[in-house]
């Protein structure tokens, strides 16, 4: 038998590990240590919970099917291991959205089990009503979990871009009266929740959960692709609060602490992402920019003249520069070109060129996407700079190499007050002496906006797959 004091102590140790994990993940140089703390903490939490379940089963205080529990652990652990080993960096945002959906669904499933058999969780005696406080916790945990699940499913589809179903398209899906409908559904959902609190009836509970599932879809579909990094961190926060709410219902301090850490860190990250795009959280929720391409995008963009060059031309310009700043974007991730980029940067450094990387907070499809991409290629951390640290250097930079980035280097944010991204902080690449931009085509970015940077006299476009272009640049340098 494992005592309650031992369980509490082990959960406390796991919680400390999670806190250390977040602290370690705050900087690239300590991220490996942070990951290690996170894995140790989760292992302690899982093993402690398993030991507690076995102890309760042996005491006969709970009717538990240990075979199903072990089977669930094996299936979940196996799926997680396979996904972690096989997932590509370009698919990481979708994987994270999928994980968020599973956390939300788990919260709903646990809440249903608690409402069905509260005595099995030690919340109430057989036949006795669930305490009012626990009903409130179940109410909150259920609707937050349901919104997280369905919203994450939509985010997964939008990020994947493989599905033709309209709800999964990157463009926002809007209709007349959308916000009013969302408000009405939210009020009805909350009313059902309070009805459940007063009666402990299944009808309001089921209605509340069903409306929450629908509301999760309706909240995410009007959000444009350019706001997806914020959506990812927002859903991360929701999943944490859902877990914390269920933790209160189960009187499980581990779930409460871990859920609160995830919820609060996700909320802070959402704020940082919104600040990086000069948008408020409510602006994002009420519909993303990128609903309509700007007048300069689409067909008009294809009619404007740009200066294009070859990888050899780009290699010549960079090899004769004193400073080169590289701005990676999602196009680099799609081409899986981070290793070729690392080789190019090393070759330039061998020739006496000072090479730096500039990272925008919302570059890619999730927060930190580009940082992880460069870390995978073992790019030295001291060469990687955040936007606020490097923006002041662009005016003294000889060459800027933009790889698959678009919206985060768009001068319209600074120069066009009517632009949908006006006021959004950007990497000020347009201030450099020479700009080299690698793109597959002149198609607009994820926000659906044309980019004036591409038409400047100082800009040279190099079209093609990022990996192929970088490899050709390497050959030219040799």
For this structure, is 407 an active site residue? yes
pLDDT tens figures, 346-372: 999 999 999 999 998 878 767 777 888
For residue 49, what are the domain limits? 1-86
Mean pLDDT of 321-333: 92
Domain tally for the chain? 3
CA atoms within 13 A on the CB side of 386: 11
In a domain, 397, yes or no: yes
Residues 461 and 361 in one domain: yes
Residues 99 and 78 in one domain: no
Nearest alpha-carbon partner for 263 in 363, 159, 91, 144: 144
Residues 50 and 145 in one domain: no
In a domain, 294, yes or no: no
Among residues 407, 416, 457, 478, which one is catalytic?
A: 407
Residues 350 and 384 in one domain: yes
Nearest alpha-carbon partner for 239 in 102, 137, 110, 366: 102
pLDDT tens figures, 99-132: 888 889 988 998 998 898 888 777 878 878 888 8
pLDDT tens figures, 4-46: 788 889 999 999 999 999 888 877 778 889 989 999 999 999 8
- The residue ranking higher by pLDDT, 365 or 320, is 320
Mean pLDDT of 319-344: 92
In a domain, 291, yes or no: no
- The residue ranking higher by pLDDT, 287 or 257, is 257
Residue after which a domain boundary falls, among 252, 285, 318: 285
CATH number at residue 352: 3.40.50.1220
Partners of residue 402 on adjacent β-strands: 327, 437
Residues 65 and 167 in one domain: no
Mean pLDDT, all residues of the chain: 84
Residues 56 and 97 in one domain: no
Residues 304 and 272 in one domain: no
Mean pLDDT of 82-97: 78
Residues 351 and 434 in one domain: yes
In a domain, 62, yes or no: yes
What does the pLDDT read at residue 292? 44
Asked if residues 155 and 235 have their Cβ atoms less than 8 Å apart, the reply is yes
Bin 352: left if φ > 0, else alpha if -120 < ψ < 50, else beta.
left
In a domain, 293, yes or no: no
In a domain, 191, yes or no: yes
Farthest-apart Cα atoms in the chain, separation: 81
Residues 134 and 55 in one domain: no
Which residues are within 8 A (CB) of 176 and not within 5 positions of it... i.e. 6 or more apart? Answer: none
Residue after which a domain boundary falls, among 30, 64, 86: 86
Residues 469 and 385 in one domain: yes
In a domain, 409, yes or no: yes
CA distances from 337 to 308, 373, 474 (A): 21, 9, 12
DSSP letter for 429, please. Answer: G
Residue after which a domain boundary falls, among 86, 108, 131: 86
Residues 450 and 307 in one domain: yes
What does the pLDDT read at residue 134? 85
Q: Map residue 367 onto helix, strand or coil.
A: coil
Task: With a cut of 80, say whether residue 74 has pLDDT above it.
Answer: yes
Residues 111 and 223 in one domain: yes
In a domain, 290, yes or no: no
């Amino acid at each position: 038998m494992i005592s309650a004091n031992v369980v509490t102590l082990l959960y406390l140790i796991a919680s400390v590990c999670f806190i250390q994990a977040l602290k370690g993940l705050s900087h690239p140089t300590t991220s490996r240590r942070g990951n290690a703390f996170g894995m140790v903490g989760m292992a302690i939490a899982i093993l402690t919970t398993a030991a507690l379940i076995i102890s309760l089963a042996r005491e006969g205080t709970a009717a538990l099917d240990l075979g199903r529990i072990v089977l669930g652990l094996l299936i979940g652990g196996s799926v997680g291991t396979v996904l972690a080993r096989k997932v590509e960096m370009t698919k990481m945002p979708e994987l994270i959205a999928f994980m968020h959906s599973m956390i939300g669904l788990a919260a709903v499933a646990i809440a249903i089990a608690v409402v069905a058999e509260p005595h099995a969780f030690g919340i109430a005696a057989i036949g006795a009503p669930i305490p009012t406080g626990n009903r409130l916790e179940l109410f909150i945990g259920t609707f937050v979990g349901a919104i997280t699940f369905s919203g994450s499913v939509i985010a997964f589809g939008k990020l994947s871009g493989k599905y033709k179903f309209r709800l999964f398209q990157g463009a926002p899906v809007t209709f007349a009266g959308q916000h009013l409908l969302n408000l009405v559904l939210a009020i009805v959902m909350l009313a059902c929740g309070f009805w459940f609190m007063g009666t402990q009836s299944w009808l309001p509970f089921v209605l509340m959960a069903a409306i929450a599932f629908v509301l999760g879809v309706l909240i995410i579909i009007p959000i444009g692709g350019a706001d997806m990094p914020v959506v990812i961190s927002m859903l991360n926060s929701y999943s944490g609060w859902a877990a914390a709410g269920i933790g209160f219902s189960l009187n499980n301090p581990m779930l409460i602490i871990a859920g609160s850490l995830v919820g609060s860190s996700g909320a802070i990250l959402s704020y940082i992402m919104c600040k990086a795009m000069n948008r408020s959280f409510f602006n994002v929720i009420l519909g993303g920019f990128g609903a309509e391409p700007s007048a300069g995008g689409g067909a008009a963009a294809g009619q404007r003249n740009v200066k294009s060059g070859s990888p050899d031309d780009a290699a010549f310009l960079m090899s004769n520069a004193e400073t080169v700043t590289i701005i990676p974007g999602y196009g680099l991730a799609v081409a899986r070109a981070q290793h070729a980029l690392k080789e190019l940067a090393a070759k330039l450094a061998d020739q006496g060129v000072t090479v730096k990387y500039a990272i925008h907070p919302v570059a890619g499809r999730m927060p930190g996407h580009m940082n992880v991409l460069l870390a995978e290629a073992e790019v030295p951390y001291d060469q990687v700079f955040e936007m606020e640290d490097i923006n002041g250097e662009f005016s003294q930079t000889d060459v800027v190499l933009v790889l698959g980035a678009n919206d985060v280097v768009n001068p319209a944010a600074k120069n066009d007050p009517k632009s949908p991204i006006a006021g959004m902080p950007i990497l000020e690449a347009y201030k450099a002496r020479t700009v080299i931009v690698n793109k597959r085509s002149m198609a607009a970015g994820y926000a659906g906006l044309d980019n004036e940077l591409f038409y400047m006299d100082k800009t040279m476009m190099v079209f093609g797959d990022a990996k192929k272009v970088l490899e050709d640049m390497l050959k030219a340098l040799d």
